[in-house]
Structure 1
Amino acid sequence: MKKKYWIPISAIALILISWMMLGGDTDDSVMLTATPKNGEFVVDVTTTGELRAKNSVEIRGPQGGRDVRLFNLTIQRLIPEGTIVEKGDFVAELDRSEITGRLQDAMLELQQAQSQVTQVSLDSTLTLSQARDNLINLEYAVEERQIVLDQSKYESPAVQRQAEIDLDKARRQLEQEKKNYVTKVKQAEAQMSEVEADLQEEQNEVDKIRDLMQEFTVRAPANGMIIYRRMNNNSKVSEGSEISAWNPTVAELPDFSVMESVTYVNEVDVQKVSSGQNVVIGLDAIQNKTLTGNVTSVANIGEQRSGSNSKVYEVVIEINKSDSTLRPAMTTSNRIIVDELDDVMFVPLETIHVEDSTSFVFRQAGLSTVMQQVHLGLMNENEVVVHRGLSLDDVIYLSVPDDTAGVDRIYLEEAITSN
């Protein structure tokens, strides 16, 4: 055959082969393919977190609110967050209206206690004065009876005996009243002690409230930058917020030398995360900056956070090195490294198909397609390691071919798949 005929014949053959491989229908979609890759394979969990200082000094409001029945304290005034303060500088002012009412009530109780002390003192003075006068009168009565007895020696024995009896009665009455007087003195002392104790208690209450009122002006306990604490609804303390008497923390002064990223991992991925794992950390505020850290704690109990339909678990990541650009509340992207493999082969997850618990890929074999069993390893969000069944030169499909009825199946040896 002449050479001039080879060119059109070859072109026609290529067209026919292409038409057969594409199924003979120009309307069918082209099958997408991929080839295995080789290199480092990383399994990770990616989350968004927020920076905070690992150590900080708390700025607290009044400590004894519960002692005076104050359980919620309203913030009236705050300095701006991020303000650099020195020890003793003003930070916040709390609403004094409720504690002022407590002070007025306590002052009224104190006045009543003082009146009670005065009343008991007067009563005791009067009672003891009357008792002393009675003793003097009884002493005179004894003396009178003694005179009558002395003069009765000239009288009949009956008169003398009566005089003796009257003297004896007078003496015994005097002795009894002396004992009664001692008892009355002790009673008076006890009553005074009781009312004076009540008075001291009321005075202590007034002093306690006055001292507590001084703490309604919150001042910085040390030098640093003001960072207001987050409340239960995840909002920060602000003017009008209420702080609890059980936890009257208003703000904190963070120590920037050691920073942490606090993040939350969903219940599906939390099983992969454990203390000690390496983390690659990015900062939204500084795009080109990358930090490293380690997971230091993983919460045992999940929580429901706003904006999430599933339970999440708090994970704390400590930044390895101090950095002067880091500030609390900066948003971080955290890539927690769960596992790493060097020099392994891996393919996209879309290429893997499971049938009866056996993993397959659809691989090109010349002009046809075969269903190749594969032995898989670690998996991340996009790819999976292939230990057996493929080579780097293989071409595999990202989706299932339209017609798989006549596709040959190639299985791995049992000894390989059982490993």
Structure 2
Amino acid sequence: MKKKLIIFGVVVVTVIIVAATVFNPSSAEEGPALFTTAERGEFTVEVTSTGELSAERSTKIMGPLNAREYGIRQISVQRLVEEGTQVREGDFVAQLDPSELYDKIQQEKDQLDAQIAEFDNAKIDTALTLRAERDKLINLDYQIEEKQLQLDQSQYEPPATIKKYENELEKLQRDKVRAKEEYQLKIEQAKAKMIEETSDLRRRQNRYDDMQEVLSDFTIMAPQAGMVIYTKMGSERVVEGSQINVWNPEVAELPDLSSMISTTFINEVDIRKVKVGQQVEIGLDAFPEKRLSGRVTRVARVGQQNPNSDAKVFEVIARVNERDGDLRPAMTTSNIIITQKLEDVVYVPLECLNTYNDSINYVIKKNGTLQEVKVGLTNSNEAVIEMGVEEGDVLYLSRPEGIEGKEPKLIPELNGTRNQKYEVTEPENMLDDSKWVLPNGQPMSEDMIQRLKDRGITDPSQLQNMMNGRGSSRGGQRPQSGSGAARSGQAGN
């Protein structure tokens, strides 16, 4: 038992020591520096983005198109078939809530009943009015006949009496003429009134019938065979309980899966590179092993706000060349748009590039030299180097230790292209290292040159003056150089 405890204790101590060694940051040694080699060959300029698949053509499944004409402001979705369901023509797709329309239909039914009653009353009033006019004409006929008989029997009456009967008969005849005219006017008036009442009744009846048809549209059937994909409302798709826009009551669509597109959004910084007709390499998150191809078919002219940031983005649509039964709408795609291809150029990884004073791009060569470079086109991983690096040059992938305070070796051909404040230091930075030589004429090593620069001697002419000063001091003259030269003269004495 005691032996087991000893063994257990040894194991625990060993684990603690190993853990302390592994997880103690101060004990970790610096990893080896990483280098890369500048390569020459074909360089591809790419713009990468994430997109979403959709059908290029589709048949829209619409809700009631005329609901807003009847005062309907909101339509809720009650039931839906599962998204992705394969349906045949006439199959059930969705049921919308008709409760608000039911209320409108009941109100319309009450108004229709009132209109029917008004129409019936108008017919009765018209019939009574015309009957009274006809009775008036009949009575005038009787009165004229009676007055004519009275006149015929008055031939032996005094002339005044006969004249009276003649006047009364003439008056009755004029009344009959006016009565006939009034009767014709009453007929025309009755016709106009009935036409108006009939029109109002027909309009009210048509409105009621149309509302009944709209009610049937609240049960949505598939217009043709296909796969049901529900419409997006903002960033969310239609689900049970969603509110349908009465101005555009689209509920779903039946996509044509034979022609697919990928819709993506490109940052405003990169959109100038993207043109219609460029090739696109398309990957699928759902099927990482599949690689599809396509072409850009549309580039938006107007940008829009990216909802996830302050950046502006532009919609770009790429048509997929291949037909694949695995492709489904709403799948996430990775899009690589080939914007340009360069032949026979030198390029390096982006990790090699550094910036000096926010103006000068440079790389660090394996020998420790900071070399200015002229950067050309870039992609997501590499950059073209137009000047400053040659094929085969070995470069640091990260900043090594010991370069603090060093300045890049500038390229003379870029003079005048930098900010003015960096041009003034150009002669100092552009010195040719081949001029740093020992008194015997042999070139100095880079370490020796760097040590001299660290001491403030940045120009080979300064070193030459210092050497001349030391020689003069041996002849009894005072050195004309700096403190370094003075010390050299004293050492010579």
The question of a shared fold, defined as TM-score above 0.5 by the shorter chain, is answered with: yes
Distance 2:287 2:204 in 1: 59
Structure 1 residues 67 and 407, CA gap change in structure 2 (3 angstroms): closer
User: Bigger shift: 389-398 or 163-172?
Assistant: 389-398
Alignment CA distance shift 1:414-1:215 (3 Å)? closer
Instruction: Give SS of 2:333's match.
Output: strand
> What residue number does 1:279 align with?
280
1:128 counterpart residue number: 130
Alpha-carbon shift at residue 356 of structure 1 (Å): 8.4
1:47-86 CA distance string (max 9 Å, x none): 1111111111111112221232224321110010111111
Q: Give the greater-gyration-radius structure (CA).
A: 2
Distance in 1 separating the partners of 2:361 and 2:400: 13
Q: Could you tell me how far 1:30 is from its partner in structure 2? A: 7.7
Is contact 1:372-1:410 (8 Å) kept?
yes
1:235 counterpart letter in structure 2: E
Corresponding residue of 1:106: 108
Q: Deviations over 1:223-244 (max 9, x none)?
A: 111111111x211111111212
Measure the CA separation in 1 of the matches of 2:134 and 2:82: 72
Q: Which residue of 2 aligns with 1:386?
A: 385
- 1:45/1:336 contact within 8 Å kept: yes
Q: Distance in 2 between matches of 1:413 and 1:305?
A: 41
Note the 1:366-377 alignment, pairs <5 A: 369-377=368-376
Shift in Å at residue 304 of structure 1?
Answer: 2.8
**Any idea what SS the aligned residue of 1:409 has?**
coil
Q: Which residue of 1 aligns with 2:331?
A: 330
* Matches of 2:286 and 2:114, distance apart in 1: 63
How far apart are residue 205 of structure 1 and its match? Answer: 0.8
The aligned counterpart of 1:73 is 75
* d(CA) in 1 for partners of 2:390, 2:62: 65
C-alpha contact (below 8 Å) 1:76/1:240 kept by paired residues? yes
Cross-structure match for 2:23: none
Tell whether the 8 Å contact from 1:370 to 1:410 is kept in structure 2 after alignment: no
Structure 1 residues 268 and 356: alpha-carbon distance in aligned structure 2, compared to 1, 3 A threshold: closer
The whole-number CA distance in structure 2 between the counterparts of 1:259 and 1:217 is 30
In the alignment, the residues of structure 2 paired with residue 375 and residue 42 of structure 1 have an alpha-carbon distance, to the nearest angstrom, of 18
Residue 53 (str. 1) matches residue 52 (str. 2) = no
Q: Which residue of structure 2 lines up, in the alignment, with residue 399 of structure 1?
A: 399
Query: What are the Cα deviations for residues 22-65 of structure 1, in whole angstroms up to 9, with x where unaligned?
Result: xxxxx999876543123332221111111111111111112221
Whether the 8 Å contact between 2:366 and 2:395 is mirrored in structure 1 is yes
The one-letter code of the counterpart of 1:159 is T
Residues 97 and 413 of structure 1: is their aligned pair in 2 closer, same or farther, counting only changes over 3 Å? closer
**Structure-2 change in CA distance of 1:407 and 1:129 (3 Å):** closer
TM-score, structure 2 as length reference: 0.73
Higher relative contact order (CA 8 A, sep 6+): 1
Question: Shift of the alpha carbon at 1:324?
Answer: 0.9
1:170-181 equivalence runs, <5 A: 170-181=172-183
The offset of 1:172, in angstroms, is: 0.2
1:219 alignment partner, one of 215, 218, 221: 221
Most deviating of 69-78 and 129-138 = 69-78
* Aligned residue runs from structure 1 range 135-150, under 5 A: 135-150=137-152
In 2, Cα distance between equivalents of 1:404 and 1:286? 48
SS at match of 1:280: strand
Which amino acid counterpart does residue 387 of structure 2 have in structure 1?
A: R
Question: Match for 1:115: what amino acid?
Answer: A
Checking the alignment, whether the CA contact within 8 Å between 1:349 and 1:383 is kept in structure 2 is: yes
How far the C-alpha of 1:360 sits from its partner, in A, is: 3.4
The AA in structure 2 aligned to 1:393 is: G
Map 1:143-292 onto structure 2 (within 5 A).
Answer: 143-231=145-233, 233-292=234-293
CA separation of 1:411 and 1:303: change in aligned 2, threshold 3 A:
closer
After the TM superposition, which of the residue ranges 143-152 and 254-263 deviates more from structure 2? 143-152
1:90 touches 1:218 (CA, 8 Å); kept in 2?
Answer: yes
Q: CA RMSD in A?
A: 2.5
Q: Distance in 2 between matches of 1:373 and 1:190?
A: 97
1:140-192 per-residue CA deviation (whole Å, 9 max, x = no partner) reads 11112212222232122222211111111110001100100010011111111
**How far apart, in 2, do the equivalents of 1:244 and 1:193 lie?**
39
| Cα separation, partners in 2 of 1:104 and 1:317, compared to 1, 3 Å | same
How many residue pairs are counted as aligned between the two chains?
388
2:385 aligned partner, one-letter code: V
- Indicate how the Cα distance of structure 1 residues 171 and 152 shifts in structure 2: closer, same or farther if over 3 A, else same: same
State the partner residue of 2:429.
none
SS of 2:292's partner is strand
Q: Is the 8 A contact 1:31 1:399 kept in 2?
A: no
Q: CA deviation at 1:394?
A: 2.4
Q: Which moved more, 1:347-356 or 1:234-243?
A: 347-356
**Structure 1: gaps (5+ residues):** 1-26
Contact 1:36 1:394 in 2 (8 A): yes
**3-state SS of 2:155 partner:** helix
Query: What TM-score results when the alignment is normalised by the length of structure 1?
Result: 0.86
Which residue of 357, 361, 364 corresponds with 2:363? 361
Matched letter for residue 252 of structure 1: E
Whichever structure has more strand as a proportion of its residues is: 1
Separation of aligned partners in 2, 1:135 and 1:324 = 88
One-letter amino acid matched to 2:310: N
Tell me the CA shift for residue 263 of structure 1: 1.3
What is the Cα deviation at residue 343 of structure 1? 3.0
* Equivalent position of 2:411 in the other structure: 411
Preserved contact between residue 227 and residue 255 of structure 2 (Cα < 8 Å):
yes
**Higher mean displacement: 342-351 or 393-402:** 393-402
Asked whether the 8 Å contact 2:376–2:383 carries over to 1, the reply is: yes
Query: Secondary structure of the equivalent of 1:103?
Result: helix
Q: In the alignment, is the contact (CA less than 8 A) between 2:372 and 2:408 conserved in 1?
A: no
Q: Match for 1:222: what amino acid?
A: Q
Give distance in 1, aligned partners of 2:187 and 2:216: 43
8 Å contact kept, 2:229–2:254: yes
